[in-house]
Every structure is written in C-alpha cells, then in structure tokens.
Chain A
Amino acid sequence: MTTKKAIALIGIDSKNCAALVKELAKGNHRLLLISHVQNQLTPLHAEVLKNYPHADVEIINCAKDACWEADIITLFGEANFNKELIERIKVVSTRKIVTGVSINRSKERTSLGVNNLQLLLPHSNVVQVFHNPESPDVLIAGDDVQSTQVISVIAAAAGYKPILVEGWSINKL
C-alpha cells in the first residue's frame, strides 16, 4: 500500500484547471482545493465526487493550513505571481514540491512565473508544468530530479504524457 500524497491546489481559475483537477481525483491522492471565495469551488467539488465517489477531496479556505497539510503544492496561472499568497505559504512550503502550472499560457509567462516562484520559495523544490489542453503532453522542468520525477508519475497516472525538459526554462524547447 502507498501512503496517499496530499496535493494542495491553489488558483483554480478556469475550466482547463478544473479538468486537470478531475483527472487528479482518479489517483490515490488527497486533494485540497483552496478557495478564498465562499462557494467558488463547490460546483467543482460536487462534480468530482459525482464522477468519483471515493475521491478524497476537500475545500479548504486557508491556503497556509492546506499547504501545511500538503506534500505537494500546486499553483495555477496567476497564483504564481501572487507575492502575498506565496509569502503566506512560504514557511510551510520548505522542502516540499511546489509546482507552478501553466495551462494554455505563453511559454514566456510560464517561465517568468516559475522563476518568480523559485526566488520567493528558495527552500522549496520548484517544478514547472506547461500544458496545452489540445494535447495530452505535459512539459515538466525543474532543478530537482526527484521532484520532477514525482510530478511526472502523477501526470502519467492522471492520463497525461509527461515530457521531462532538462534545465530550467521551457523557452529552451
């Protein structure tokens, strides 16, 4: 038996992000959906449980508490640029995998976001993920090999095709 990893998901701001969450719900994870706006993620939560009744998924209002509980922290889109948020979760993110996920955004914006993350979270293992919803490919890059492999395995289990990119910047593709 494998111990469940708790994954905190911050900044779910689009249908594409929601689709990714539903795929993750299939796996052996505990999903912590962070929402500061009352009832914002309730429909997504309900939909996940409707499709996967045994999914372990919970809405948490406090990003710090969720990230404290999480083994992996995932920031979607503009959450990668939210300095106030990142400062709040910094103390509970030490030595954890922090994934900056960019869905359907420019590679330049993606790279900028993840570089920003690594600067603000110097003691976390930052991994960048770039995904175009029109393709099953998921590009994964990061300095820490073990962390990129963990994210790769999770992506593969969720039905995506992970492609590990060497070095930091997705612009190198």
Chain B
Amino acid sequence: MSDDTVVDGPVLEFTDGIPGFAGSHHFVLTDLTEDGVFQLLASLEDPALSLVVTVPWLFFPDYDLELPEHDRRSLAIESPEDVVVYCSVIAEEVSDGLYLNLRAPFVANPHTLAARQVILDDEDLPLRARFGGEA
C-alpha cells in the first residue's frame, strides 16, 4: 500500500480478505456516529464496499468470545485483553431491526493492525443477533 494514500483512520490489514470479498485486504476504520459507538470499515481496494461495525459488548455485555488458538497465534495476540473486536451490523429491510453478527467477529491485533474475520466455534452464536430494543 502506498504511503501517499490519505485515510481518516487506522487501516486494518486482512491477509486473505473476508469471505465474499477475498480481494479486499485493507479496510480503514472511521467513526460513523459522533460518540464512536458505530464505525465504518471501508475497503481501500473496493470503494463500493463498506460495513457498519460496533463493539459487541456495548449491546451484548455477556458476549463470550473464545478466540480459537490458531486465530490467536496467527494474529500474534499475546493476551486476551490485548485484542480489538468488532461485529458487523445489518439493518434488515423488512423487519426494520438491527442485528449484529456475533458468530463471526472481526478481530484485530491493536499493535500490528493485522485482522481477520474469525468464525467462532460456538454454533449457537447467531449470524444475526437483534439489538437496539424492540418497539
């Protein structure tokens, strides 16, 4: 990546991209809402690709993330606290609800900015977990 690229935030590096977007290796993380609760992961390789993300514990305080050993080693994460985790957010068109992908969080090493989308072993974790309160 050229150092001349002007970006508004940290750039996370996904060695193999993410499922569905294997060619997108660099995503810049910017604030979406002023309080920083919601952020945007925008692909540098594909300007049309962006994902809304948030920190899962803001909405699911009991979210128990067990980072698989091989992912931990691949990202060179030394301790469980020294990790950055975001989950992708989706607004459903029909149901009007907001959902978090708790099954496959984006996990990054906060020092190297190496990142990957990890598919957690717990099959009970939903791909879409509703949050934001019901009407």
A complexed with B: no
